[in-house]
């Protein structure tokens, strides 16, 4: 066979890598079929006018990769079986399409459910985006993370080839137990902690444990779609209960005789931002004991309080009764991309919850857990949170000041804590959907509670949910200015 090699199409790189690429490409595309004899390194070097060592290097790489074989004293040949043949499921020599098979009936998809509104990669983001609850890319401890990954991999031993403990790495669970004792007043044994793939998986585990078609779950109105959609998909009958200035209406809850679950966001209600007072928390615990219900305490952004000291978690007030399923997450305090959250469970639930977790995924990935454990145990998590609190408080102040400057006095809620605030628009303002569309024209992201992931049960406020940690101070000021332009453009 006449051997000609065009190395001009190869990507940039050394001569050796261009030769390697060109030969590998020709072999993969079967321009050089199996068993083709290749020129000797000397001949090819002469043809291409390059040094012989350059060709020897390229041949050596192709040989290690399995594209060519050297037969001693005979020559160099294209391998009979190529590396890609081992990966391909269809024999490359037979390209005949399979005859269509008539399918009489396929199983019905039994699952019925909705996906919460989330920002997923690929969706084009506006230049200035007030999306709620997004942590700042600039604040992610990337260097520390890189160092800890290397450190953990260095000591991984068998951990990467064995299944990790289903309930989570003991060192991470111990680190979390020590942390929430101090910050949330929760006294628990580390073995009562189950590491999950975010709060979302925690809600799934809870629903699988306690919900069957017709079970009753009391939820806030409005509530987080993440929890209400899972409950509904599992067949729960939801009782939406009004949220007032201090969170869920306790008087309304007390009228409900029995329920399986009461789902709350007590530190910073999603989306309205209200906080349930200590007194009302105690009343809700009393109610749960009488109604035979578990309280699902979603404490998603409790790390951030800007004015007063945090109120003890309901799980921390539940001394001995074990009436609370506490849900924590690192999505807000570090980043949602980690997908790590946890459940603090009553003794009687631990075993069954771990079985559900094993059905879902046999445990969270080892490396991320090991890194996070080290991050917390080394004290760097505390330092990170302290810095974030300061930065976010400053961003919050700037957002409030900009809004007040442009719009005067406002009905702003949830400003004392968390990562978003809730602006109930005056009656004279246009509908939030129209504002959001006009804002989009000006390249800013403005969201109604429903767009931001709230289930409103058909009775939503005309309100805007404003997230701020991910924006720079300039972006906040410019974003509010453009928001004003957008609202004015609607007349
Ligand atoms: C109310 C509420 N709970 C929990 C979460 C966190 O969910 P996850 O831990 O699954 O990222 C969020 C995120 O936006 C939230 O708004």
Model confidence pLDDT, tens digit, residues 249-283: 999 999 999 999 999 999 999 999 999 999 999 99
pLDDT interval class at 91 (50, 70, 90): low
Does the structure show a pLDDT above 90 at 197? Answer: yes
Strands (E), 293-452: 294-298, 324-329, 341-344, 411-413, 420-424, 444-445
Query: pTM value?
Result: 0.85
pLDDT given for residue 90 in this prediction: 59
> What pLDDT score was predicted for residue 261?
98
- Identify which has the larger pLDDT, 98 or 448: 448
- Ligand 1 atom nearest the C-alpha of 202 is 10
Confidence check: pLDDT of 100 > 80: no
Is there an atom of ligand 1 within 6 Å of 418 CB? no
CA distances from residue 19 to 68, 82, 83, 130, 474 in whole angstroms, order as listed: 14, 18, 18, 51, 51
Residues with Cβ within 8 Å of residue 235, at least 6 apart in sequence:
211, 212, 213, 214, 215
Distance in Å, CA 300 to ligand 1 centroid: 6
Query: Is the CB of residue 419 below 6 angstroms from any atom belonging to ligand 1?
Result: no
Answer yes or no: is pLDDT of 423 > 60: yes
Q: Is the CB of 198 under 6 A from ligand 1?
A: yes
Residue 223 CA, ligand 1 centroid: distance in Å: 11
Residue 36 Cα to ligand 1 midpoint, Å, equals 59
Q: How confident is the model at residue 67 (pLDDT cuts 50, 70, 90)?
A: very high
Using most ligand atoms within 8 A of CB, pick from 270, 340, 417 the residue to mutate for ligand 1.
270
Task: Give the mutation target among 117, 118, 198, 199 for probing the ligand 1 site: most ligand atoms within 8 A of CB.
Answer: 199
Mean pLDDT value of segment 90-111: 74
341 in ligand 1 pocket by Cβ < 6 Å? Answer: yes
- DSSP sequence for 436-478: HHHHHHTTEE-B-TTTTTEE-TT---SEEEEE-TTS-HHHHHH
For ligand 1, is residue 329 a contact (CB within 6 Å)?
yes
Paired with 206 in beta bridges are none
E strand residue ranges, 126-225: 128-129, 193-196, 216-221, 223-224
Given a cut of 80, is residue 95 above it in pLDDT? no
pLDDT tens digits along 460-475: 999 999 999 999 999 9
Ligand 1 binding pocket includes 199 (Cβ within 6 Å): yes
Residue 237: is its pLDDT beyond 60? yes
pLDDT at residue 10 is higher than 80: no
pLDDT number for residue 2: 59
Instruction: Say how many Å lie between the CA of residue 453 and the centre of ligand 1.
Output: 10
Pocket lining: 331 vs ligand 1, CB cutoff 6 Å: yes
Number of the ligand 1 atom closest to the C-alpha atom of 201: 10
Q: Which residue has the higher pLDDT, 122 or 153?
A: 153
Give the residue among 253, 377, 355 at the shortest CA–CA distance from 314.
253
Whose Cα sits closest to atom 6 in ligand 1?
199
Distance 331 CA to ligand 1 centre (A): 7
Does 273 contact ligand 1 (Cβ within 6 A)? no
- Per-residue pLDDT band at 102 (split at 50, 70, 90): confident
CA of 200 relative to ligand 1 center, distance in Å: 7
pLDDT of the residue at 12: 73
CB 413 within 8 A of CB 424: yes
Closest-lying ligand 1 atom to the alpha carbon of residue 298 = 3
Provide the β-strand partners of residue 248. Answer: 243
φ and ψ at 232, to 5 degrees?
-65, -45
Q: Is 300 in the pocket of ligand 1 (CB under 6 A)?
A: yes
Ligand 1 touching residue 222 (CB < 6 A): no
**Can you tell me which atom of ligand 1 is nearest the CA of 203?**
10
- With a 6 Å cutoff on the Cβ, whether 270 touches ligand 1 is yes
What is the pLDDT, as a whole number, of residue 121?
58
pLDDT (average), residues 434-452:
97
Q: Tens digits of per-residue pLDDT, 161-188?
A: 999 999 999 999 999 999 999 999 999 9
Q: Is 133 in the pocket of ligand 1 (CB under 6 A)?
A: yes
- Distance between CA atoms of 371 and 144, rounded to whole angstroms? 10
Cα of 270 to ligand 1 centre, how many Å? 9
Candidate from 78-82, 175-179, 421-425 with smallest mean pLDDT: 78-82
The confidence band for 126, taking pLDDT boundaries of 50, 70 and 90, is very high
Hey, which residues does 223 pair with through a beta bridge? 455
pLDDT at 93 over 60: no
Q: Is 131 in the pocket of ligand 1 (CB under 6 A)?
A: no
For residue 86, what pLDDT is reported? 77
- The answer to whether 3 touches 10, Cβ cutoff 8 Å, is no
Residue located nearest, by CA, to atom 12 of ligand 1: 300
Mean pLDDT score of the chain: 94
The sign of the torsion formed by the CA atoms of 336, 480, 450, 394 equals positive
Position 122 confidence tier, pLDDT thresholds 50, 70, 90:
low
Judged against a pLDDT cut of 70, whether residue 1 lies above it is answered with no
Per-residue pLDDT for 92 more than 70? Answer: no
Task: Compute the radius of gyration of the chain from its Cα atoms.
Answer: 30
pLDDT at 106: 87
Which residue's CA lies nearest to atom 15 of ligand 1? Answer: 300
Instruction: List pLDDT tens digits, range 393-422.
Output: 999 999 999 999 999 999 999 999 999 999
Percent of the chain with pLDDT over 90: 84
Pocket test of ligand 1: the residue of 329, 330, 469 to mutate, having most ligand atoms within 8 Å of its CB, is 329
Instruction: Report the separation in Å between the CA atom of 488 and the middle of ligand 1, taken as the mean of its atom positions.
Output: 33
Q: Of the given ranges (87-96, 235-244, 423-432), which has the lowest mean pLDDT?
A: 87-96
Q: How far is the CA of 220 from the centre of ligand 1 (A)?
A: 15
Confidence of residue 97 (pLDDT cuts 50, 70, 90): low
Q: Is the pLDDT of residue 94 over 80?
A: no
Q: Which of 200, 220, 300 to mutate to test the pocket of ligand 1 (most atoms within 8 A of CB)?
A: 300
Task: Among 106-110, 151-155, 358-362, 445-449, name the one with the lowest average pLDDT.
Answer: 106-110
- Report the pLDDT averaged over residues 17-35: 91
């Amino acid at each position: 066979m006449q051997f000609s090699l065009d190395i001009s199409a190869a990507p940039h790189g050394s001569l050796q890598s261009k030769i390697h690429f060109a030969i590998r490409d020709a072999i993969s595309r079967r321009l050089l079929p199996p068993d083709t004899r290749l020129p000797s390194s000397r001949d090819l070097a002469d043809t291409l006018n390059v040094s012989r060592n350059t060709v020897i290097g390229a041949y050596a790489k192709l040989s290690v990769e399995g594209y060519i074989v050297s037969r001693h004293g005979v020559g160099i040949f294209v391998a009979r079986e190529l590396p890609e043949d081992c990966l391909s499921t269809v024999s490359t020599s037979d390209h005949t399409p399979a005859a269509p098979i008539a399918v009489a009936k396929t199983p019905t998809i039994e699952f019925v459910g909705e996906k919460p509104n989330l920002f997923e990669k690929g969706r084009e983001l506006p230049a200035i985006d007030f999306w709620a609850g997004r942590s700042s890319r600039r604040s992610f401890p990337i260097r520390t993370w890189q160092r800890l990954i290397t450190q953990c991999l260095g000591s991984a031993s068998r951990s990467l080839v064995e299944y990790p403990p289903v309930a989570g790495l003991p060192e991470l669970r111990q680190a979390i137990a020590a942390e929430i004792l101090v910050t949330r007043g929760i006294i628990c044994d580390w073995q009562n902690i189950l590491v999950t793939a975010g709060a979302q998986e925690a809600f799934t585990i809870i629903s699988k444990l306690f919900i069957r078609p017709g079970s009753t779950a009391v939820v806030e109105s409005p509530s987080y779609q993440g929890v209400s959609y899972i409950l509904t998909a599992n067949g729960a009958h939801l009782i939406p209960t009004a949220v007032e200035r201090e969170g869920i209406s306790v008087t309304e809850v007390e009228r409900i005789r029995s329920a399986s679950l009461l789902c709350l966001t007590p530190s910073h209600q999603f989306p309205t931002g209200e906080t349930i007072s200590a007194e009302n928390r105690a009343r809700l615990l009393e109610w749960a004991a009488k109604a035979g219900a578990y309280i699902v305490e979603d404490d998603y952004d409790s790390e951030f309080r800007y004015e007063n000291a945090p109120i003890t978690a309901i799980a921390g007030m539940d001394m001995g009764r074990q009436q609370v399923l506490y849900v924590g997450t690192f999505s807000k305090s570090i980043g949602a991309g980690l997908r790590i959250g946890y459940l603090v469970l009553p003794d009687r639930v631990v075993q069954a919850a771990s079985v559900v977790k094993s059905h879902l995924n046999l445990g969270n990935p080892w490396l991320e857990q090991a890194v996070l454990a080290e991050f917390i145990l080394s004290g760097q998590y505390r330092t990170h949170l302290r810095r974030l609190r300061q930065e976010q408080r400053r961003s919050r102040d700037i957002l409030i000041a900009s809004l007040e400057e442009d719009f005067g006095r406002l009905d702003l809620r949830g400003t004392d804590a968390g990562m978003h605030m809730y602006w109930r628009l005056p009656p004279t303002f246009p509908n939030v959907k129209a504002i959001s569309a006009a804002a989009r024209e000006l390249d800013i992201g403005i969201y109604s509670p429903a767009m931001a992931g709230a289930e409103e049960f058909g009775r939503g406020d005309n309100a805007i949910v404003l997230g701020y940690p991910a924006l720079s101070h300039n972006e906040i000021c410019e974003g509010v200015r453009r928001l004003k332009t957008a609202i004015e453009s609607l007349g």
